[in-house]
Structure 1
Amino acid sequence: MADTRLIHGRYRLLEVIGRGGMGEVWRATDESLGRRVAVKCLKPLGPQHDPGSVRVLRERFRREARVAASLQHRGVTVVHDFGECDGTPFLVMEHLEGRNLSQLLEDNKHHPLPVDDVVDIAEQVADALAYTHRQGIVHRDLKPANIMRLADGTVKICDFGIARLDAGPGHSSRLTSGEITLGTPHYMSPEQIGGGRVDHRSDLYSLGCVLYEISTGVPPFDQDDAWGILVGHRDTPPEPPRTHRAELPAPFERIVLDLLAKTPDARPADAGDVRRRISDARRAVPAGATPLPAVPPHPATPPHPATPPHGAPVLLATPPGPDTGAQGRAARRTDPPSAVPAPRAPAWTRTMTTGRKAVGTHHPRPVPPPDDDDPVTTLTGTWTTGAGTSHLGTGARTGPGALGTGGGPWRPQGAAPDAPAAGTDSGTHRFTLPPPPGRPPRGSEPQAALADRHGAALRLARLGRWAEAGEAHRAVAAERERVLGADHPDTLTSRHERGVALSRAGRVAAALRELDRVAEARDRVLGPDHRDTVATRQESAYVLTRLGRHADAHRVHAAVLSARARVLGAGHPDTVAALQEVAHALGRLGRWEEALRTCREVADARARARGADHPDTLAARYEVGIALGRLDRGHEALELYRDLTAARSRVQGPEHPETLRARHGLGVNLGRLGRWEEALREARDVAATRARVLGPDHPDTLVSGREVAVCLGWLGRWAEALTGYRLVSGARERVLGPDHPDTLASRNDEAQCLEQLGRHTEAVELHRRVAAAHRRRTPG
């Protein structure tokens, strides 16, 4: 998947921002709509995995798409699309700029979060859970790593990979396999552990575990092995949170302990009731509460569990194994032999590891990376960000379409790790990466410090703080130039990243100057075909497009295409992706005949490599249809979109977003041929389906709503058209803001419709408002 870069002809993968045992999340750009998204991919599974487990994993991934796409709430991550690329399922979600609760605890040096933050997070999560439970959905894996807090304070629940749908045809209540465990030990309810019936109250128990941890810094049952944790959930009352942190409000502590009741009936009735109680408890939060620097760290050993009832066995945190006789049994118990043993947890827990909780104790030990074969981290392992993983010579994949700016040669797929890049001297320009920060060799302290500063600048960029990121990269570049030299690849990496940051901050002219200088230097130092040189050239092409210099952008895209073809070959996916960029550039120049030929080349190449029905091939055929339409070859375009709709329906289903996109193209070309009644019927049907599948405010739904209004206008039904245009512009203003280009385009549609209705005064006033908004967007 990572080698493809452009998937579905639409989503350009930029950099990995999260990774779990069996999947990864990419920051990406939706090139069709020009917006930033996150793409979650399930890793390809090899022959070492049991076929039944593979089937379950893939079905669970599809279930996550279906479940999340059905939810529309500010506290739940929005899902835009789902599909497969080369047999690998992927999920397209809104891109969230923020930190999950696990990361917030780590940022806070494993101290608990401020009390007012804890209460605010609790209230928002309870509200989102109340909504999801009303939809008949139980999350079943609520934990700090699956709860995001955005920069504006909004809290969102993520990752519905093992959610259960309580209602609806075709949904089973359980989806499991002998090798796969549902849930994460530190946050599992007793009924999950015992294999009993799981309903919305299991999520409430997990919420109690999360609130306990962010309130105190440790989970309610914090032991080193899964068995001890599970036994704690099942048998041991939790220590009251205020024993760890005295200033927690007593009403809030009562809520947490009620959520952690061992039996579902003893917990609150629903998440709505929890939210109301938290709102009441908020009044008890001290004004201006701050983090708790004075909290003493917990001892390295976990706290002793609460004393069990008299006569009950005290179980040690050791899973039951083969019976080794009286001596073995005595080693696992401290009670008299005559005591009745507690019921055991189910057999599947015996090989279970703890997975990855949010933080550890206040003296955390190093956590090894997740094992791809670990059944617990398969889908429930923490998604870890890429922050802090960049070292000298490895720049971030931040630009649209960037192949990466890392040091080292650009190797064709399948080349040996030490193979030199084509067109480069294998004996030159090789630099040894330093060890991770904290363990630099003698004499390398300046480079390690600069690597840390480079990583910090990349993290600023990931937060969208582009101006600060650009200044940080400028400072690192200046220092690297002093220490390493102006042409050292690490110096050039910092300058490349500065160019990217300048571009994202809106300083496109300055970005182009910086990127051009970097491209010239990389050409001289690394060679014209090195991947870093090509990445900078491609970034320059995007900046040229933003500056309206489409001829120059086309020239640079063509050079990128030539370099990729020389190094990777004409049929490599990245080469074909570059060919599609050339086609887009030709279209922006109005050279539609050439664009049509190039789009057909792309479609033919993808058909040869992946098959006629592969989604990427179908995406390339869609681009062919656009070119045909621009050339007023409506009859050909209409037939292409009919065939494309049939193929998409067969491969992806009649309600898949790409099938609906093909139907939209069909309707547009019916209009081009003057068949407006047919076009109106098609547009209305597509709009209704998109509203049901994607939501009424989804950008694709609004595009269809506008198409309905266009058809009504051509039929002379201007009053109805005005209503349609106003619905679209109102939704865009609500979702995107009053000054967004799409909102302003919709307001222009309204104004033109008012002109047709003879309401000239209103039309003039609306035109003035749009013009004023454009001036605000482009001051000076």
Structure 2
Amino acid sequence: MGENRLVQGRYRLLDLIGRGGMGEVWRARDESLGRQVAVKCLKPLGPYHDPSLASVLRERFRREARVAAALSHRGVTVVHDFGESDGTPYLVMELLEGRDLSRLLEDNKGHPLPVDDVADIAAQVAAALAYTHQHGVVHRDLKPGNIMRLTDGTVKICDFGIARLGHDIGFTARLTGTGVALGTPHYMSPEQIGGGEVDHRSDLYSLGCVLYEIATGTPPFDLEDAWAVLIGHRDTPPRPPRDRRPDLPGHLEEIILDLLAKRPEERPYDARELVRRIRGRRTTAVAGTAVGPALLDAADRGRLPSWTGGMTTGHKALGAGLRALPPDPGAALSARWAVTPRKYEGNRATSHNGPAEARRPAPALPAERTALPAERTALPQESAARHREAARLAALGRWAEAGEAHLAVAAELAALLGPDHPATLAGRHEALFALVRAGRVTEALAAYPDLAEARARVLGTDHPDTLATRQESAYALGRLGRHFEAHQVYAEVLAARVRAMGPDHPDTLRCRHNLACTLGRLGRLDDACRTALEVAAARARVLGPDHPDTLVSRCEVAYAQGQSGRWEEALRIYREVAEARARVLGADHPDTLAARYETALSLGRLGRSADALRRYRELIEDRTRVQGPTHPETLRARHGLGVNLGRLGRWEDALAEAREVCLLREQTLGPAHPDTLVSRREVAVALGWLGRWAEALTEYRRVTATRAQYLGPDHPDTLAGQGDEAHCLERLGRGKEAGELYRRVAVIRRQQASGGA
């Protein structure tokens, strides 16, 4: 169709005002009524198009006409007419005078919109969604380009081309079955990405993406690779908006992050609730809030649906701008109580550090973070709010508070639904998960057998939820240094997963990955390396060579090689992983920075401390810029810097660095945090090298006492601390005391070795 073309003898096309994936929009004059309108025409596909694609697009176009014509709300574009002209479908709508949100951001040169405008747009769009959802219509493609702000300030939602009517699910299934992508990657909900059931809460997630972008100037996951964007939505908590825009009010940040919860049940219940929250202008500021667990259910954590295979990132509001940096899912976890170097699945940006390095505890987020069943939505609003608050606390790393909150919710579920209801059992699983991360490992471990037995009785022994609980119990055993028992449980769970899901299922591979980690802790480094190599190869085949899970397993291979003394090979792999992550996720992504950390660590282990020092300084600069000077990862890099200063014989500098890092860790993480204790030990090491053994002994004893209190007197790290004490006593000429301490440690280690033989 062209300019001045008369459509159906009534609508004269005047000029082209917009072009999208499905059609073109023309300003036109209705010759019958003498008014100006907008006419949207389905674009011709050319002579070589796929007939099935044409059929789908025609259905979508007709669907938009039918859906939009049935709606009457000031926040929804009015449809006047629909038909076909010379075989081309057309849609006649009201002509809107204004700019869509994409254009508003472009006009603003990439800068975010004023706060008052963000709040006003949020309230108007939420009100329009409340109306459409009440009428059973889910938009499913909400994005800045589909939201218009008129010259009088009115905000309208446009383009219902892939909307779903509540009573017309079959129609949606037919569209999905064609392999044509539904939605725009930068604004798609995790359930859309995973191919799950989509309801009104998917629109709320998309609205959260839109509000994040107009509030900060960039989408939550602003990556150039469509696959990386989808993975970001599915697996990665968004960076808090106030990290990008400090003047954004706390209540707006909280609303945006609530909308961006990974699981639908953790978002606002409906758009009406959202309208009340926005207009109520809640004043409680929650800086750095991230809502919802970082992972989806087990069923959603496999490969992305086939229709995403050739997907591009699509159009976002701005073609350029600041790159969004999805944060390390584990970066905010402040209660990491395992101090042994392990890299269990779930926290992808983990480190493996030796005795003199910062040994990152890397808590494994569970492979199957069980979502509560649909019955949860019927719970009283107070219970649902408590569950959201528990998830928010967990996302902030406030695990002790999250554990208590989840325990309270689980008790309510037991009273309402019964102790063996799947939702009750899921609530208990979440509570125990949080308790482990809060350091209450022994308490959680005592409760896991009963929970696993209940899930086996209700759901079956090979049900994913049952296996998830058993796998978490294995993780807890590892946290307590009981690696032989952990290995047994992982092996049993792995056999069940192979039997129930097959050897190449992502959850099976995740369990094998954790088994490889445990083999390394048992000193079976060749077995650990071989298993990790097999997992990496399988993941490369199933998920692709650059998939984050594949790269995590390659890091585990490198770790096993390093522990075996093959640091050159480890260094090569860490460098390759760092390059791959920079390419796929971005140079400043936390996972990329983590691989760079491992590279610097490997250089130090190879005796190339000058090179390591340079890498650590570069990493500290980038970590400080991206995550801040007191972020745990920034401090970890500073710790590595101090270690290598000591290796170069610069012990006064090393001592000063260790003391400063120890103080910052104590202030930000707490005096008993494993990272703080590692820094305190490094202070003692430097004091010893400077000949100040009495002061060193005091620091070593503080470390050992704290480890004994939180990890137990027989934990390997507690015993290592006692060995450090004995060495100090020896250097102070107190040989008898040193000998008694050495013998005591040796007896316990022999007992442990015979018990695990």
* TM-score (norm. length: structure 2): 0.47
Bigger RCO (CA 8 Å, 6+ sep): 1
* TM-score (norm. length: structure 1): 0.45
Higher helix share goes to which structure? 2
